[in-house]
Structure 1
């Protein structure tokens, strides 16, 4: 059955049946929506600040990193 056939059949349903169909379809999409959300909380905010074995970047390296990020963002 194609999408257009489903739409045609849905319009032939009673108002009560269409409301139930809306509720069912909305519930079927909600789990997908939740899985896309970013993680929240303290642990998520701490990602990337852990100590590494490498030395911290110099001021010049930080400036180059920021410049590169801006170029990628706006080009």
Structure 2
């Protein structure tokens, strides 16, 4: 049985406080179970992503970033 979000919300509003609390508890348990089954990122993934960003060039200054942004906006709008 499929129910739209709005219809479900309206039905839930008709429940007693204790039944709504039970519904919330069941939903939290369901979400918790689903989220627990997702794999956690590994340390190697984070290290790999950091390695992608690493280069031999010096970091950009705020002024350089502002100039690049201004140049891009001119290209886009002029």
Task: Tell me the TM-score normalized by structure 2.
Answer: 0.48
